[in-house]
A and B are shown apart, each in its own frame.
Chain A
Amino acid sequence: METLAGILLNGVASAMILYIIAVGLSVTLGLMKFVNLAHCVFAMAGGYAAIWLLQKTGMPFALALAAAAILVALLSVPVERLLYSRLYGAGDLDQVLFTIGVIFVSIALARYFFGPSPVNIAIPDALRGQVDLGVQFPAYRLLVLAAGFMLFAFMWLAVEKTALGARLRAAVDNRRIAEAIGVRTDRLFTLTFALGCGLAALGGALGAEILPMRPTYPIEQLNYVLIVVSVGGLGTLHGPFIAALVLGIADTACKYYVPEFGAFFIFAAMIAILLWRPNGLFGRA
Chain B
Amino acid sequence: MVAAGIDFRLHPGERHALIGPNGAGKTTFVNLVTGRLAPSAGRVLLGGEDVTRRAPVERVKRGLARTFQINTQFMGLSVLENVRLAIFEREGLAWRMFRPAESYRAVTGEALAALEDLRLGPLAHRRVDELAYGESRMVEVALALASRPSVLLLDEPAAGVPAEGSQAILDQLARLPAHIAVMIIEHDMDLVFRFAQRVTVLDQGRVVATGTPAEVQSDAHVRAIYFGERAHG
Please determine if A and B sit in direct contact within the complex, based on CB atoms under 8 angstroms apart: no
